Amino acid sequence: MSGGSPPAAGLAAGAADPCVHCGFCLPTCASYRVLGTEMDSPRGRIHMLKAIEAGELSLDATVASHFDSCLGCFACVSACPSGVRYDQLIEEARPRLNAAELRSPWQQSLRRLLLALLPYPQRLRALLQPMRLYSGSGLQRLVRGRGLMRLFGPELTALEALLPPLAAEGFQDSWPVVAPAEGPRRHRVGLVLGCVQRSFDPAVNRAVLAVLNANGIEVVIPPQQGCCGAVSHHQGAMEQTRSLAGDLVAAFDAVLGPGRPAGPEPLDAVLVAASGCGHTLKSYDRLIGRSFAAPVADVHEFLDRVGLSAAFRQRLRPLAAPDGAPATAEAPRAVAYHDACHMIHGQGLQAEPRRLLSAIPHLQLREAVEAGVCCGSAGIYNLVQPREAEELGRLKAADLRGTGAELIASANIGCTLQLRRHLEPSEGAMVRHPMELLALSAGLLPA
Ligand code: SF4
Ligand code: SF4
């Protein structure tokens, strides 16, 4: 593992220098939490990066495995008092980890397959279509109940366990190019649908659109939009990421302008309701040297900034309990907001979604003890590192369950699938997107 290799030029690029090895980042690190070894902590990885750069350590399969165990959650960046940008370090390191000799043929094939499917909604849907008969069926209950997937290994077990019920709506993109505001128009925005979100939880985008329109916000939805590149970005597949990012910017350009379907009026922002996507979308200038004509914002960030309209606030009603009884001041509806890593650590957004949820009458926010620790989803981490992800998912589910909340608000599709997997099946419906809760409260979605 040590010595012999040429210096890994650019791997750390001096960004590791501020690290004083204090270890303040260790308690927040999800991989250190479950693996417990220094090499699987931020401090250990920074040490390895420095050693690689100095030519004292080879980037071999063992060393690479300690970088693969990193979730890219960036909790260490938030925790570091010295301002070490571990996010930049791991982003630089990841493309090098994709070298063929650093992973087993099975791991390489699995990653290649996932990157060839997940960012392409049409391919994903073609694969999922036959799975519709299976998801939610008695056969699936039998397979899960008997643990039959364990015969196929931990990765495929995780894949099956994360598969949600597949709604027909997730197999089509029947969105208007321009969805007009209700009442006087306050703003005009674009909406990125997300590739995984639109297939696996299509109700979220429906809720986002309804909430935005009801707040006097016109929404432009380019029909040819694909993936933003977040999945491949997270894996260090930079060529694919740049290609997807360029295509998405072009999809917006294709509908905006004189004589085009959405017309020439500029957008105030380009919004997204999946925080993993938002983090990558906000990096376009750095990744591809250009971006949209309007700034990117998470939907919570934008709505919090412009404020819910008076008309929308008047529509808000207490959320009903499962038995249909509305929440009251004496018996409020308890909701735990789950902080997605790419929202809290990646974009610095923590108060915004909580403020929006607090607009719902008789909603009581509860806080998880370890709100800043990753749930184990982390892009495709829970498929390629299933053991670590399973442990983190169990810890997160226990933490959220410990709040006593009846509902969990999750603003990232990956986290939502991970949380639904690790909460008891009967608790699965507890996890909803904050925009769904706002839409339900405003009577914009059926209860
Ligand atoms: S990354 Fe920051 S918090 Fe972690 S050991 Fe280095 S200086 Fe300390
Ligand atoms: S990104 Fe997350 S998992 Fe990776 S070193 Fe930082 S805290 Fe640990």
pLDDT score at 148: 79
Sequence-distant (≥ 6) Cβ neighbours of residue 330 within 8 angstroms = none
Nearest CA to ligand 1 atom 6: 19
Query: Average pLDDT of 328-349?
Result: 95
pLDDT score at 435: 98
- CA 91 – CA 164 distance, rounded (Å): 30
Q: Is residue 12 scored above 80 in pLDDT?
A: no
Beta carbon of 75 within 6 Å of any ligand 2 atom: yes
Beta carbon of 70 within 6 Å of any ligand 2 atom: yes
User: Each residue of 50-106: pLDDT tens digit?
Assistant: 999 889 999 999 999 999 999 999 999 999 999 999 999 999 999 999 999 999 999
pLDDT score at 138: 85
The pocket around ligand 1, CB under 6 angstroms, is made up of 19-25, 42-43, 46, 76, 79-80, 82, 84
The least confident of 170-179, 237-246, 308-317, 389-398 is 170-179
pLDDT score at 428: 59
Q: Write down the mean pLDDT value for the chain.
A: 92
pLDDT score at 17: 85
pLDDT score at 212: 98
Segment holding 178, helix H or strand E:
strand 178-179
Proportion of the chain above pLDDT 90, given as a percent:
80
Q: Is residue 2 scored above 80 in pLDDT?
A: no
250 versus 6: the higher-pLDDT residue is 250
Q: Is residue 10 scored above 60 in pLDDT?
A: no
> What is the CATH T-level fold of the domain 310-441, as seen in this structure?
Rossmann fold (3.40.50)
Token pair listed for 234: 């997270």
109 versus 131: the higher-pLDDT residue is 109
Query: Average pLDDT of 202-228?
Result: 97
Query: Average pLDDT of 150-166?
Result: 85
Sequence-distant (≥ 6) Cβ neighbours of residue 338 within 8 angstroms = 368, 371, 375, 396, 400, 408, 409, 410, 411, 415, 419, 431
Q: Which ligand is nearest to the CA of 75?
A: 2
Q: Quick one: pLDDT band at residue 253, thresholds 50, 70, 90?
A: very high
CA-closest candidate to residue 377, choices 419, 338, 336, 345: 419
Nearest CA to ligand 1 atom 3: 80
Q: How many helices (H) and strands (E) does the chain have?
A: 23, 9
pLDDT score at 5: 38
Q: Is residue 171 scored above 60 in pLDDT?
A: yes
Proportion of the chain above pLDDT 70, given as a percent:
96
The least confident of 157-166, 223-232, 297-306, 383-392 is 157-166
Domain boundaries, the chain: 26-102, 310-441
Q: Is residue 13 scored above 70 in pLDDT?
A: no
Ligand 2 centroid, distance to 254 Cα (angstroms): 38
Ligand 2 centroid, distance to 28 Cα (angstroms): 8
